[in-house]
Structure 1
């Protein structure tokens, strides 16, 4: 059998490539080859299955934002039963004095890309998260929205 495109690996990257080829109008034949069709041993399903926008380069932030839009329209795209259990709960990335310049620079990049990331000093963090010891912490970046966790197996089997 002949195919126009053969994708080796059907977990999140391979499945995404096949899906987006169709979305962009590719009409040729696509073979998606996966040795573990239940995804029992796939890195995707064994990962922490999370999404964040707290990166240092714009391209990674944009990729997360692109994925977030897909997550937010799953039912519209895949039907009323499409549910990956996505729960927004932002990442908290902390920095001491030495890491503060990097945290601030990353935050500037994230905000410039439209990410909903809040930069707080140790006092603000202690008030927001009273259980958190801020000893040695200079600041933290907190994702107020657009970050969280999901069921990767549910995503792969939509």
Structure 2
């Protein structure tokens, strides 16, 4: 019978199909996320925090703030120093957004893929907002309201620019 590590290596090799897919590093990132969630749950339990009963407004506020926070972390020029060890600058992809290429292999590549993907960071951001609503509800509501307002403001900036462009073309 083949040892487990050897079977896992063989499965990872078959999955990759010649591509650079750092499955072990992805597993490590999932473990970090799981440990963070477990730590949040332990903190909430030890503090005897009651779980909130989210209303539709809370869900909308968290959705907008998660969207904004994930874009800020993964695309904003000011947060590029956080991504720089894992990426290479390639240009801009939209107003006030950078296009960066993931670099490296293994864990460096996996982290690079995470920190450049707003969809991937979205899970972490939503978890942070949810944890905050349990551990520090007032401060979290203020932070999420600020991020949600910024998200709506960004949308309005795009709408205004599109309206100006349409008015100029007519």
TM-score, length basis structure 2: 0.24
Tell which structure's C-alpha radius of gyration is larger.
2
Structure number having the greater helix percentage: 2
Structure number having the greater strand percentage: 1
TM-score, length basis structure 1: 0.25
